[in-house]
Chains A and B, each alone.
Chain A
């Protein structure tokens, strides 16, 4: 197993830092899956996570100038799965703010480590290099099955969210009123955030939101045909989990698609040129 990647372009370094920051805000431990083409950050759907799951993938060619990896074996298992504390990685690459280059490689110290080497600009001829060793655990191939891309649920409604900043602000206020929030929407572009407690009920409504185009040939999936377009699908979720997602993201996607499976789950899809991030929040029963 070998892995080695290098970024030189400062914009790519910043971009990568933003992705890692976003992920570290969402979860503590995450799994990194490396393939020839792509890098994945995965939080599998486990009871311990409260049912939240995340799937983020980036094309390595868009970020890395050098990228070499050899998986467990060359033919069918040419992949690497690692488990890492996301915050450690986030802290390690924090100093890459104005770096000349950023190298990430898999090394064997006493334990397997992801070594982050950052070359900083220096005035003298000797290079200034910051090195971080982040312990990782290698996930054996027998467990890889748990880390497959989550299946897109059969959602009832799919729409584009209003600007995240607006939504974030509203959710922050609603969080002070209640710890659960009901998110609802229909296929005609109406969307609502609602809290209800003994003392207060507050509903924020948006209308005429964009409906994501459905491409029958592409990956995107059509909302369930049986669901009437004007019918609201709703899901009651934990406000904290939603806020974590809204407050933590630094990717600045140009579109955020929200898919609602009535009374079951919410699925967010951040759409960006080089990255796609999916986040699932299950409903909380009343």
Chain B
């Protein structure tokens, strides 16, 4: 019933982007995984939506919501790009927010300079939101290509989640070692109370795929990597990749309530070594 009522209201309008989903939580869920900054850039193509969030020009989170996730998805132009306040978008999506019933959502956008219109319905109550969009700025290109990947491990998210939870938060950096020889995969921190490291050997049950060609050790700012914990918490599997420059890519496989799989990807650049020793 929900979908129908929302449909009738929009029949006559022809929007540049028009998407409808029976369970708005499937969208909310994925967006939460990249919610570490207020401003997000949305790219819409015929394949779906990509939502990009960046911080300090060093880390980028991308959430992909493919068109199949929506019950209805149509786009007039080839590609649409706009910036939006993610905080507000999530508040609006979550406006009914009860866990027992589902919110139906229709999302409409009519091109440059127009607001993003959301229509949400739950139990006969309807919410209309109109969120101002902003001009899209260029997003970072990490030039991370599969051909340059040196080491790659796919593992269950559980073990990475635990590793992140137990990590020493007083450390400024996280050192990731990936190697064909033991310890295979090592997360090390250097905190106020000393060093600690966690190893995951390649024959562990948690590791599903292991392909390491070289021993690479790189440091990443822990506070930059922290937002990716949000994605790890929702994911079922994580693919960790490092390229020859030490750039890190974390791909999170997230299952939504309909059993569909969505991806959230994080790129992070390594911490440059300076003369003074890192603490």
Question: A residues within 8 Å of B by Cβ?
Answer: 162, 166, 169-170, 173-174, 176-177, 198-208
Contacts and interface: CB of A to CB of B under 8 A. Distances in A.
Given A201-B129, A207-B124, A173 B88 contact: no
B95 A173 contact: yes
B129 A202 contact: yes
Nearest to B116: A200
A200 B92 contact: yes
A140 B96 CA distance: 48
B132 A173 contact: no
B96 A205 contact: no
A162 B132 contact: no
Contacts of B96: 166, 169-170
B126 A204 contact: yes
Contact of B91 (A166, A176, A201): A176
A200 B88 contact: yes
Nearest to B131: A200
B164 to A, nearest CB: 27
B91 A198 contact: no
Chain A interface main SS type: mixed
Contacts of A176: 87, 91
A198 B132 contact: yes
A202 B95 contact: yes
Contacts of A202: 92, 95, 127-130
B113 interface: no
B97 interface: yes
A174 B127 CA distance: 11
A224 B88 CA distance: 38
B98 interface: yes
B4 interface: no
A200 B127 CA distance: 13
Nearest to A173: B95
B85 interface: yes
Nearest to A191: B125
A177 B91 CA distance: 8
A204 B95 contact: yes
B127 A199 contact: no
B85 A205 contact: no
B4 to A, nearest CB: 16
Contact of A206 (B95, B125, B131): B125
Interface in B59-108: 85, 87-88, 91-92, 94-98
28 contacts: A166-B96, A166-B98, A166-B123, A169-B95, A169-B98, A170-B95, A170-B125, A173-B95, A177-B92, A199-B132, A200-B88, A200-B92, A200-B130, A200-B132, A201-B129, A202-B127, A202-B129, A202-B130, A203-B127, A203-B129, A204-B95, A204-B125, A204-B127, A205-B125, A205-B127, A206-B125, A207-B124, A208-B124
A173 B124 CA distance: 18
Given A177-B88, A206-B124, A207-B124, A200 B129 contact: yes
B130 A201 contact: yes
Which of B95, B97, B132 has the most A CB atoms < 10 Å from its CB?
B95
Nearest to B93: A173
A166 B98 CA distance: 8
A238 to B, nearest CB: 18
A87 to B, nearest CB: 30
A229 B21 CA distance: 35
Given A199-B132, A202-B128, A205-B126, 17 more contacts: A166-B98, A169-B97, A170-B125, A170-B127, A173-B91, A173-B95, A177-B91, A177-B92, A198-B132, A199-B85, A199-B88, A202-B92, A202-B129, A204-B95, A204-B126, A205-B128, A207-B124
A202 B131 CA distance: 8
Contacts of B123: 166
Interface string B118-138: 000001111111111000000
B58 to A, nearest CB: 27
A198 to B, nearest CB: 7
Given A169-B97, A173-B95, A203 B125 contact: no
Nearest to B87: A176
A143 B126 CA distance: 48
Contacts of B88: 177, 199-200
A139 to B, nearest CB: 44
B198 to A, nearest CB: 37
B125 A173 contact: no
Nearest to A172: B97
Contacts of B132: 198-200
A205 B132 CA distance: 21
B21 to A, nearest CB: 18
Contact of A173 (B97, B126, B128, B130): B97
Contacts of A200: 85, 88, 92, 129-132
A253 B95 CA distance: 24
A191 B128 CA distance: 14
Contacts of B128: 202-203, 205
